[in-house]
Structure formats: C-alpha cells, structure tokens
Amino acid sequence: MSSIESTSDSMPALKERAGVVNAMIDGAQTVLVRHPTLDPGEIDESFALYPAYSHQNPARYQSEFEGYYHRASAKPDAGVPIRAIADVREEYTVSSDELAALARHYVYTPDGLRDKYDLDDELRVLLLRVSELESPQLIEERSSYRGCRAWIDLAKDVAIDRESVTPVLDDATFAERKAAVRDALE
C-alpha cells in the first residue's frame, strides 16, 4: 500500500526544484536523492512532477547543468506547468559518502546534495521512469500546494491522462541508465 494518499479523482504530485524537474524531463537526470523523512513508506503509484520555484540555488548545480537553474529560476506568471509523470523503478539507501558515485545521474554536485541534507543520515535514491504528458497542464498554484512539503494532491479539476504519455528515455537507454546506477552503488 502506498503511503502517498490520493483520491480516485486526483493524482499525487511530488514537489521538486523546477530545474531538477526540467532535467528529468530532458532525460539528463534519472535519479532523485531524497531524505527518507520526505517520502515515508513505499511509493507504488505514478505521480506528477510539480516544479517548485523557491529555494533553488545555482551553486548546487554541476557546471554543465547550470542552464537548468537559469531556465527555471522564476515561476511563470500564467501558472505552474505540469509536464510529466514518473514512477519509481528502483530504490536504494545510500550514505552521503556514496553520492559522488552517482554524480553522472543527477544535475546537482555531490556537495550541493550534501548541503540540502544532514550528512549523518542515510539518503534515499529513487530511480525514476519519467514520461512526458502529450497534453501538458498549466495549473493555478492553489494555497494547498504552497509551503515546504514534498507531496501534494492535485485538485480533482487537474486532468492528468496517465495513458497519454511518452517516456523521455527509450527502453534501451533507460535500461542502460538503470544498470549504470546499480553498478555505481555496488
């Protein structure tokens, strides 16, 4: 059973920095590194990627990925773009010392990630299969979506068609990335 609660008419959404969401949609990032307290329990259903525009820090990005920060440094006036859904394909628990081995799979520097989390805690690494929506949604930022929370439940009037999506990486490329993540952690 999922610990991410959603009603049958709504979809859970993971709030993540907008630059990171864009990198995942472009296929440049395949893992999310999270503090275990942000995602309690098992994540066993698809979820929308909700770009968050606050608390972004350009110093956390690897130099070749700084463009993701600059493209997403301000929230669009027209609303929040929901462009993709994701599902967790594998999950790992790592120490902060192991982050360098995964650096090619995310846009932050290992130190940028360490800066976000307590170095003494183990971290959760989620390997995500991201799929782009055929019909992206531009949604109003409701008050219930604001604040420092990792998960939100999108309103019932936000229509996300889970069937009309295209994976951002083809099957072969995703399989290669999945194997590379496993190899990096062994």
6 pLDDT exceeds 50? Answer: no
Residue length, the chain? 186
Instruction: Place 40 in a pLDDT band, splitting at 50, 70 and 90.
Output: low
pLDDT at 5: 45
Average of per-residue pLDDT values in the chain: 84
Residue 144 forms part of a structural domain: yes
**Residues 6 or more apart in contact with residue 152 via CB below 8 angstroms:** 12, 13, 15, 50, 144, 145
What whole-number distance in Å separates Cα of residue 149 and Cα of residue 128? 20
**Where are the extended beta strands (E) located within 8-164?**
12-17, 31-34, 47-52, 80-94, 123-139, 151-153
Instruction: Place 2 in a pLDDT band, splitting at 50, 70 and 90.
Output: very low
What whole-number distance in Å separates Cα of residue 36 and Cα of residue 20? 18
Query: Which tokens in the block code for residue 103?
Result: 């650096």
Q: Which domain holds residue 76?
A: 12-185
Residue 115 forms part of a structural domain: yes
Task: Determine how β-strand 47-52 pairs with β-strand 31-34.
Answer: unpaired
pTM of the model: 0.88
When pLDDT is averaged across residues 153-171 and rounded to a whole number, the result is 86
> pLDDT tens digits for 131-142?
999 988 888 877
The amino acid that residue 77 corresponds to is: D
Contact 52, 19 (CB under 8 A): no
How many domains, the chain?
Answer: 1
pLDDT at 151: 85
Residue 177 forms part of a structural domain: yes
**Residues 6 or more apart in contact with residue 168 via CB below 8 angstroms:** 24, 25, 26, 27, 84, 130, 131, 132
pLDDT at 173: 97
Closest CA relative to residue 19, chosen from 115, 108, 151: 108
> pLDDT tens digits for 77-112?
788 899 999 999 999 998 878 888 888 899 988 888
Task: Give 13 or 114, the one with higher predicted confidence.
Answer: 13
When pLDDT is averaged across residues 164-183 and rounded to a whole number, the result is 96
Residue 68 forms part of a structural domain: yes
